A and B are shown apart, each in its own frame.
Chain A
Amino acid sequence: MALGLATLYSATGGNLARVTNQAVNMVAALVIMWLVANIPLQHMMRLALPIYVVGLILLICVALFGEINNGARRWLDIGVTRIQPSELMKIAVPLMMAWYFDKHETTLLARDYVVATMLLFLPAALILRQPDLGTTLLIISSGFYVLFLAGLSWRIMIGLVIAGAGSLPLLWSMMHNYQKQRVMTLFDPAQDALGAGYHTIQSSIAIGSGGIIGKGWQNGTQTHLDFLPEKSTDFIFAVFSEEFGIVGNSLLLVLYLVIIGRGMVIAANASTQFTRLIAGSITLTFFTYIFVNIGMVVGILPVVGVPLPLISYGGTSMVTMLLGFGILMSIQMHPKLVKT
């Protein structure tokens, strides 16, 4: 997280206000994490259904009364502040699914998988409509991890993958033009060098020119001369990469791996189905964030709005992320309190 702040400092061109702001976000998120870590899991299990239902209602409200911002309807004004219910769903969906599987632990039938899938796709469809492809994909993947870890048979999974591949043309036709554009530019960024391909080209240049040890902190020319777009949020990895090179990148990947590994150990040692599934799903979703974000920045995935966990500027995703960690810690801290 310190690394994140340092990079942000450079990305914003020494804008201390934003760095401070982000630090405040971090502290707030850490407090939330600590609070969540202290919540025994029974409470959390009990909360799973209400949170999910509330989240779903909020999503429907967004669809009906949401504020339009940048052409997307994502925010809900609840008087005091504006909230983004889709963020909430990132946690609520795996919680709900894990709760469902835990409830039907002993008698897992095909029907249960179907129900769980429904639990997943309902909010996903609502979020996709907003439109918010990035969040949709993350929620679907978090749900998918639950299904996978809950022991969904390989045959069905292969079937899902085939069905998914089969529905690609349908999905394609439902996608917005700008989304299609992003996918197209992945294959050939140069075809629209000043438009959609600009992000990818400039970030590739930033990363490539970083070389082995990088240009040094605050010395990235791509960053400091404004060639890099979205450099404090989604493309912050390019800043990091330009300034710290492949050495820094590898170090960052290792740090992420340590966190993921720790998450997996927690999941493996968790005592109930619910905690196992939750821990596994959170850990794998964390990984998905990392992979999708870095993949996008290095130009192997299309540009989707997914932040780099713990580093990108932005309070909401930081809170969501640390909330997840809070749950992981709670699972670790209260193993005995489960199943009495």
Chain B
Amino acid sequence: MKRTIEIRDHLSELHHFQNRLAISAGFVLFLFLILFARFFYLQVLESTRYHTLAEANRISISPIVPNRGLILDRNGNVLAQNYSAYTLEFVPSKLADFEATINELTTIIPIKEIDRRRFKKLMEESNKFESLPIRTRLSEEEVARFAANSYRFPGVEIKARLFRQYPKGKSSSHVVGYIGRINNKDLAELEANKDLANYKGTNHIGKIGVEQSYEKELHGIAGFEKIETDSAGRKIRVLSRTPPVSGNNLTLTLDTKLQEIAERAFGDRRGALVAINPNNGDVLAFVSKPGFDSNLFVNGIDFKNWDRLNNSIDRPLNNRALRGVYPPGSTFKPFMALAGLELNLRTPGYAISDPGYYQLPGSSNRYRDWKAGGHGKVNVHKSLVVSCDTYYYELANELGIDNISKFIGRFGLGKKTGIDIEGEASGLLPSREWKMRRHKQKWWPGDTISIGIGQGYNLATPLQLAFATSIIANKGTAFRPHLVKRIQNSKTGQIFERAPQILYQLNLNPDNLAIVRNALIGVTKTGGTAAKAGVGAGYTFAGKTGTSQVISIKQGEKYDEDAINERHRDHALFIAYAPAENPSIALSVLVENVSHSSSAAAPIARQVMDYALLGKLPANMEEKPVDRNRENEHD
């Protein structure tokens, strides 16, 4: 009895169990079906989408940065070139504590204070996902040492990059300019020009000078590599490759030797010099002193150097030749003389009796000549040779402001010359309309008088003065001044020679022109204001001296008492061309704050002319051939 119950119990239990087991089996099948449904969804229905995702995962397009074009001077001397070097880079935002990383890196690779400062500045200027160099130009040994320790520094990489280098960095910095890391402003501009794709992978862009204005030529076209990568972005293999097209090489009109001579001639003085070939507008020398070393900017300039350059009282970053505006002073007079002759207000024979001052009719206010007591009898020739002010006070009054601004405006004063680098200042050639617009005042006859001697509201850049001089030198043709002479296509090797561009032709009476040109030769002869500079020149040297009055100092500049006094001094100016009969060079020189204004600028011009025309080196340069070689090697 008991046993049967037990057996029955067993049987029912077994039955019960098998029942439950069957339910479980159903459950298992059901869940497996769900899995299968999911497989079907992923692998059949959505397969294409996931396939694309997998491909996107593994294939990445990587840009190949093109080589930037070279910049050469007219004789083939290298002004800007590339070299490849290793950098140590990382993305600061990807590291938990990049300062700590830098400190640790220091134990392997020397990282100087200047590197850290530069890095900080780079961080401020770039977006947070950019890979930034903490050290550039690693030596082979440093590369090896890092490679051995790289496991300690996840996220820090050694990269081979092309660097820009300016062999004559300190010499022609204002012309050649420099490249710098692309900042947000550059990015916005690239985006606006739809150039962004071409700059993927490019870190640098031209910031000023030729590097900036010829960016399109120099940059080249980026190439692309389709590469297979793993999840860490490591390159597995290259699937296809479109090679980049290097940037075009530029040959400048500049003669670096001439440039160097001009810079040396300035010594420690501040100033500018622009030399132009009046027959085609080639800019032969373009000096702004003091300069700076372009190489400092390439990898990002550090705070300290930036501070030194940017806040220096000497303003080395200011391109004085292009952007510095100064009253032209007496260098204005040849143009005034031409105006008087061309507009038939003066004849060559007309002469004044100079008492040493000028009075407007009906006024007791005296405008003084620079020479007390005057120059005696002065005709147009003598007025230029001795730089008589009284002659031009009277002439200015008779011409009137309208004639002056109209006639002299034709020589390019008061407007941009259109040179092929950016940032040119337009100077100021005052007019009635300008004064009304600017000062809300009518023009008074008294305003005109000081305009006649290049003072007053008058402002010109050294470039404008050189340009205006070149028009007198070539008897009336205005060539657009330009710095780039030749562009060589890096792909085809084809050379595009830049043709001289005639802006306009002035129809000047040859007789009037001859009078002024003769007088300018007289300036460098005995009795002329630049007689000293003309002594022993083996060519006819035409020029005109000038003094530019420094009226006030700009607000906000701080310097000591001595400096104030020094900076109150006048600027010396000189415009010149030679050989006078058939000039091949026309120039303007400006020397800031010199005590003996007339004698400071002309000798600089003379040195430049001597080399340009005779190949003669200044005495101090001939003596140090070793030094010159060293400078050529210098990076």
Distance (whole angstroms) from the CB of B32 to the closest CB of chain A: 6
**A residues within 8 A CB of B43?**
207-208, 210-212, 241, 245-246, 249
Q: Is A84 an interface residue (CB 8 A)?
A: no
- In the complex, besides A106-B9, A208-B53, 8 extra interface pairs with C-beta distance below 8 angstroms are A105-B13, A151-B17, A205-B50, A208-B49, A209-B53, A227-B57, A257-B29, A299-B38
Complex Cα distance A245/B36, Å?
12
Judged by a CB distance under 8 angstroms, whether A250 is at the interface is: yes
Q: Is A110 an interface residue (CB 8 A)?
A: no
Q: Which residues of B217-268 are within 8 A (CB) of A?
A: 228-232, 236
A204 within 8 A of B: yes
Among A151, A205, A225, A249, the residue within 8 A (CB) of B53 is A205
Binary flags per residue of A274-316, CB closer than 8 Å to B gives 1, else 0: 0010001000100100010011001110000000000000000
Chain A residues within 8 Å of B16, by CB: 151
Interface size class of A (residues with CB under 8 A): 35 or more
B36 touches A225 (CB 8 A): no
Residue of B nearest to A152 (CB): B20
Of all chain B residues, which has the CB nearest A227?
B231
Tell whether, in the assembled complex, residue B42 and residue A204 are in contact, meaning their CB atoms are under 8 Å apart: yes
- For the complex of A and B, the 9 pairs showing the least CB-CB separation, nearest first, are A208-B50, A209-B54, A225-B230, A246-B43, A226-B231, A208-B42, A226-B230, A211-B47, A227-B231
Question: Would you call A8 an interface residue if the criterion is a C-beta within 8 Å of the partner chain's C-beta atoms?
Answer: no
Contacts of A222 in B (CB 8 A): 54, 57-58
Task: Report B234 CB to chain A, min CB distance, Å.
Answer: 8
Q: Are B51 and A298 in contact (CB under 8 A)?
A: no
Partner of B24, one of A145, A205, A291, A298: A145
Asked if B229 and A225 make an inter-chain contact with CB atoms under 8 angstroms apart, the answer reads yes
Interchain CB contact under 8 A, A291 and B57: no
Of A206, A227, A264, A300, the contact of B21 (CB 8 Å cutoff) = A264
Q: Please list 8 pairs of residues, one from A and one from B, whose beta carbons are closer than 8 Å in the complex, sorted by A's number.
A: A151-B16, A151-B20, A202-B231, A208-B54, A209-B53, A209-B54, A249-B43, A280-B17
B13 x A221 contact (CB < 8 A): no
Interface string of B93-104 (1 = CB under 8 A from A): 000000000000
A246 touches B44 (CB 8 A): yes
Check: A5 CB closer than 8 A to any chain B CB: no
B57 lies within 8 A of A225 (CB): yes
* Chain B positions 21-55 with a Cβ under 8 Å from a chain A Cβ: 21, 24-25, 28-29, 31-32, 34-36, 38-40, 42-44, 46-47, 49-51, 53-55
Do the beta carbons of A253 and B36 come within 8 Å of each other? Answer: yes
| Residue contact A209 to B51, C-beta cutoff 8 Å | yes
Contact A250 B36 (CB under 8 A): yes
Q: Does A260 contact B (CB under 8 A)?
A: yes
A294 touches B35 (CB 8 A): yes
Distance of A292 Cα from B230 Cα, bound (Å): 28
> In the complex, are the beta carbons of A298 and B42 less than 8 A apart?
yes
**Which residues from A are CB-within-8-Å of B627?**
none
Closest to A291 in B: B31
A148 located at the interface, meaning its Cβ lies under 8 Å from any Cβ of chain B in the complex: yes
Rounded to whole angstroms, the CA-CA distance of A148 and B32 in the bound complex is 20
Contact bitstring B260-286, A, C-beta under 8 A = 1, else 0 = 000000000000000000000000000
Give Cα A256 to B31, complex, Å.
13
Q: Return the contact of A246 from the options B25, B28, B40 (Cβ within 8 A).
A: B40
Q: Is A267 an interface residue, CB under 8 A from the partner?
A: yes
- A240 and B232 CA atoms in complex are apart in Å by 22
Q: Is the CB of A221 within 8 A of B54?
A: yes
- Asked if A207 meets B24 with Cβ closer than 8 Å, knowing A225-B57, A227-B231, A250-B36, the reply is no
B18 within 8 A of A: yes
Q: Is the CB of A284 within 8 A of B54?
A: no
In the bound complex, residues from chain A placing their C-beta under 8 Å from that of B39 are 207, 241, 246, 249-250, 298
Instruction: Indicate the member of A205, A222, A300 with the most B CB atoms within 10 Å.
Output: A205
State whether the Cβ of B633 lies closer than 8 Å to any Cβ in chain A: no
**CA–CA, A161 and B32, complex, Å:** 22
Task: Give B52-68 interface residues, CB cut-off 8 Å to A.
Answer: 53-55, 57-58
Is B623 engaged at the interface, CB distance under 8 Å to the other chain?
A: no
Known A148-B24, A149-B17, A250-B39: A206·B230 in contact at CB below 8 Å: no
Most buried by A among B9, B21, B46, B55: B21
Q: Is B6 an interface residue (CB 8 A)?
A: yes
Instruction: A264 to B9: give the CA distance in the assembly, Å.
Output: 22
Task: Looking at the assembled complex, report how far the CB atom of A15 sits from the nearest CB atom of chain B, in whole angstroms.
Answer: 16
